[in-house]
Chains A and B, each alone.
Chain A
Amino acid sequence: MNSPKSDLPQGTLDLLILKVVALGPLHGYAIAQRLQQISRDVVQVPQGSLYPALHRLENKRLLAAEWKLSDTGRDAKFYRLTRQGRAYMHDETDSWHRLTTAIGLILDAADGEAS
């Protein structure tokens, strides 16, 4: 919990959510937990802001939602990836990789020059 935390670059929250949900249907709380776990607490999403993002993705039909009985014995809203969502995720992942590789190259080159 004491490790440094990073703010998420604009627009990446959507991609992370899609990636997490790609593993199987999850409710909102589980998505928040999973994000935190996978990123080893580096990425911390303010819990509240998760929901507008989920609803936006649902409205864009990248996610579909379903109310199902959950482990607590109450109905919970489970999100799963749609076909459109999966395609979108792949596209975005690819472009993310291209971008980070490019940025990495630039940063490394700059380092080399300085040393």
Chain B
Amino acid sequence: MTWWRRLLQRGRVEQQLDAELRDHLERLAADYRRAGLSDAEARRRARLEFGGIEQVKEDCRDVRGTRWIEDIAQDLRYGLRLLRQSPAFTLVAVASLALGIGANSAIFALVDGVLLKSLPVRDPQRLVLLDDGSWTNPIWEQLRDRQRDWSDGAMAWSDGRFDLSRGGTTEFVEGLWASGGFFDVLGVPAVLGRTFSAADDRRDGGPDGPIAVISYAFWQRRFGGEAGVIGRTISLDRVPFTIVGVTPPSFLGPTPGRSFDVAVPIGTQAIVRGQGSWLDARSTWVLEVMARLKPGQSIDQATAALRAIQPQVRAATMPERWPPPMLEQYLRDGLTLASAAAGPAGFRIRYERPLWIIMAVVVLVLLIACANIANLMLARASGRRHELTMRLALGASRFRLARQLLVESLLLAVLGAALGLVFAQWGSRLIVAQLSTPRSTVALDLALDWRVVGFTALVAVATALLFGIAPALRVRRVAPIEALKEQSRAFAGERRRVFGAPLLVVQVALTLVLVVAAGLFMRTFGKLATLDIGLDRDSVLVVDADVTRSPTGEDGRLALHERMRAAVAAVPGVSNAALSLITPVSGSGWNGPVELPDRPDVPTRERMSFYNSATPGWFATMGTKLRAGRDFNERDVIGAPAVAIPNETFVKKYVKGNPIGQTIRFERGPEGITQVEIVGVVQDAAYRAVRDPIPPVLHLPVAQAHGGTAPARLSLSVRAASGSPALLTRSVAEAISHVDRDVSLTFRPLASYIDGALVRERLLAMLSGFFGALALLLAAIGLYGMTSYAVSRRRTEIGIRMALGARSSRVVTMVMRKIAVPVALGLAAGAALSYWAARYVTTLVYGVDARDPLTFAGAAVFLVAVSALAAWLPARRAARIDPARVLRDA
């Protein structure tokens, strides 16, 4: 019989074993009977001679070779039976493990997706990125034409947004301007149709005209995965493109955290953007450049090859009208390559530290959960001492008993991990959804891969060991005789420590760390959310108006924008409407150096300022206060004196004395030096970011800033007279369409731009708050359970004390004092740990010191209050023990 058949037919094997041994005994007894013994005596002699029949059976089972499996199966059966017997324990343990393990898997899935996963492309280790920022298209064209000199193929791309609508309200999709070699260099094939070739990347469109490759997700979402999509036409910014291919589902795009819907060749920008295209702009830095190394080529070798062609590349692409020192710098800056296996790092860098911090937080939460369960298991093991002692006395080995306790732990951990994976899937998606803002959708590949599952399994085993090892170790200390003597009655109180005070210390310390972190991040977010940023976040609707497709020519744009503004201002419910080039906190910006005639030695980068252009009334619309002088007015047009309104920081940094009436000179790309007169000063208001110090900003009138015309895209800020500005969307859209049907519009309340700028802080506050609360809850449950257990163990003792005259307040004190020492030690350790860990969060907190004593003290007080409550409930129960009943029961 093979070993697995012996295992499967265990019942029959056992039956046969029994029959065989019984047969032997019968024959032996029969022989004795024949020798003249009485029946009873014959049987007795037979049994004596044969030895213990159960012992022989055990020996026979041992030689089967399936023993360990049977034992584990038995352990599992015992374990399941025990878990069923105490459903409350099982529920608490499995639930806290599921939360702990689930949180770990969820965050790990994010870490995996953001930090660890390589691009899903062919041989990503061979990909290199042209380092440090973006490049102009002229530079790219130079590099492209010489790509074989320094690499095995190069490509470039730029993120963009395309409007799918054919007029009216916009419908944006995530776009990608990709060079002809984009997909080939990455090694991403088409699952349907074809990708681009160099021939497609022409300014007039390739042989097939303007073509597009769409992503798998977009194909499914928009076309329902229909195979006939190849050859269909799609309108991007009102230009028809022919769809030629679909990319594989694993390929989300070249940038982590960002997915694309539609990719078009870079050259087609000439058709889409016309005059506004950056194809020939020598100082518009928009392209990322990536290349594949030649076989055997190292990054350093490729960089050297690139440096060799650098002089020609730079010389052919000199930006026009840059001041000579900047041009010198431009020629000198060395081109450098860096590994690009995981794609460009923007999103990664932004979220790397927060992710690791949250990862540390969830590991701590899991440790707290483990400490909890270890305590509960210890308590149970003490309660089961009698059972374990009996089994030891009956011949079970200590190893066997310890193993059974470990199997029980493992059972809990596996149940917790299975449930945790479900939590994780749901949780990580929820977090990614939180990361997305209306302007940029965050997409990560969160599919369960072997790494996440492996990580979860590892965590489950590690936790099982963590909380299973303490009870298992204790089994060794049970000396059969002593334990049998001691039995179950404990009059003498706790001669042995029933539960692990050290575990409690660890638990309290870790919880304090998490509560402090939650306090810091929540205060940070609170500070930022209520920060006076010089903008009225709740009453403004921002309308991005793009008149590129309007029949109105460039000369009429200023008037067209003004007509739209006036129409919107007349809409009922609108108190104010004004235009600006840049929407604050939208992420875009315009900067350049200011001339400081009296300080010529100050280097360029120390005299930079940001700029914006605005129409009269824009400051009032945005809620930015005028500190001195006047606002722009209708007379500030081309021909009239050029005027400007700086913010307070600008004045503080670059202007001496009364700013009104002083002139400012600054460098503007194509226009060269511009000279303006200060007519007013406005309050500091957020420009690009909410949490950074507000930079110097100089505002110019729209009518003067763009050479008498206006850019195609302007931002129209609409202030609601009352109520939510989003409610104005429909009437504003109608008012604008009466002026011009061909303007594409995007609506978004200012508040959502500001929320978008605080995503990281909100996420940290939310997650650390959630996990801090979870840790607190777990610690409270653990403390409550331990105290309850201690009280139940000491019931008799407490009863006797009360019979002898102890008052109930004294009993409460006595019980709570037991807890006070480990809690105090834990607080001290936790404070020290938090103080040390503060160094890792200093860059993430705002308006509060990472070692803020108030936050530390608050967290400690909070934790003490929760601990006191958790210990007081069972202590009060102890004080209500009826001495008479206890003594009777004893």
Contact = CB atoms under 8 A, between A and B. Distances in A.
A33 B49 CA distance: 13
B62 interface: yes
B60 A46 contact: no
B628 interface: no
Nearest to B55: A48
Interface stretch (A4-12, A18-26, A73-81, A94-102): A73-81
Interface stretch (B17-25, B429-437, B493-501, B651-659): B17-25
B63 A27 contact: no
B297 interface: no
A59 B65 contact: yes
Contact of A29 (B27, B51, B55): B27
A102 B52 CA distance: 39
A47 B51 contact: yes
B321 interface: no
B59 interface: yes
Contacts of B63: 52, 55-56, 59
Q: Is the interface of B mostly helix, strand, loop or mixed?
A: helix
Contacts of B3: 59
B26 A52 contact: no
Given A46-B51, A59-B64, A59-B65, A51 B27 contact: no
A27 B59 CA distance: 19
Nearest to B52: A48
Nearest to B20: A77
Nearest to B49: A47
A49 interface: yes
Interface in B1-58: 1, 3, 16, 19-21, 23-24, 26-28, 30, 49-53, 55-56
Contacts of A48: 50-53, 55-56, 59
A76 B60 CA distance: 17
Q: Is the interface of A mostly helix, strand, loop or mixed?
A: helix
Most buried by A among B24, B52, B59, B62: B24
A27 B20 CA distance: 9
Nearest to A47: B50
Given A47-B28, A55-B63, A28 B56 contact: no
A55 B60 contact: yes
Nearest to B56: A48
A72 interface: yes
Contacts of B28: 29, 47
B24 A47 contact: yes
Interface string A42-78: 0000111101100110010000000100101011110
A51 B51 contact: no
Contact of A55 (B27, B30, B53, B64): B64
A72 B26 contact: yes
Most buried by B among A48, A52, A55: A48
Contacts of B52: 48
Contacts of B30: 72
A75 B19 contact: yes
A105 B410 CA distance: 60
Contacts of A59: 1, 3, 63-65
B24 A52 contact: no
Interface residues of B, number: 25
A29 B62 contact: no
Contacts of A51: 20-21, 24, 56, 59-60
A39 B452 CA distance: 67
Contact of B24 (A29, A46, A75): A29
Contacts of B23: 27-29, 70, 72, 74, 76-77
Contacts of A46: 51
Contacts of A76: 20, 23
A52 B51 contact: no
A52 B19 CA distance: 15
A71 to B, nearest CB: 9
A51 B56 CA distance: 7
A27 B65 CA distance: 23
A72 B28 CA distance: 12
B60 A52 contact: yes
Interface in B296-321: none
Contacts of B55: 48
Contacts of A72: 23, 26-27, 30
Nearest to B65: A59
Nearest to A76: B23
Interface in A76-92: 76-77
A74 to B, nearest CB: 6
Given A27-B23, A51-B59, A72-B26, A77 B16 contact: yes
A51 B16 CA distance: 12
A28 B24 CA distance: 7
Most buried by B among A49, A52, A72, A75: A52
Contacts of A55: 60, 63-64
Contacts of B50: 47-48
A83 B3 CA distance: 21
Contacts of A77: 16, 19-20, 23
Nearest to B3: A59
B208 to A, nearest CB: 73
B557 to A, nearest CB: 94
27 contacts: A27-B23, A28-B20, A28-B23, A28-B24, A29-B23, A29-B24, A29-B27, A29-B28, A47-B49, A48-B50, A48-B51, A48-B53, A48-B55, A49-B56, A52-B56, A52-B59, A52-B62, A55-B60, A55-B63, A55-B64, A59-B3, A59-B64, A72-B23, A72-B30, A75-B19, A77-B20, A77-B23
Interface of B: 1, 3, 16, 19-21, 23-24, 26-28, 30, 49-53, 55-56, 59-60, 62-65
Given A47-B51, A59-B64, A72-B26, 20 more contacts: A27-B23, A29-B24, A29-B27, A29-B28, A47-B28, A47-B49, A51-B20, A51-B56, A52-B59, A52-B60, A59-B3, A59-B63, A72-B27, A72-B30, A74-B23, A74-B26, A76-B20, A76-B23, A77-B19, A77-B23
Closest 7 A/B residue pairs (Cβ): A48-B51, A52-B59, A48-B56, A29-B27, A56-B63, A29-B24, A47-B50
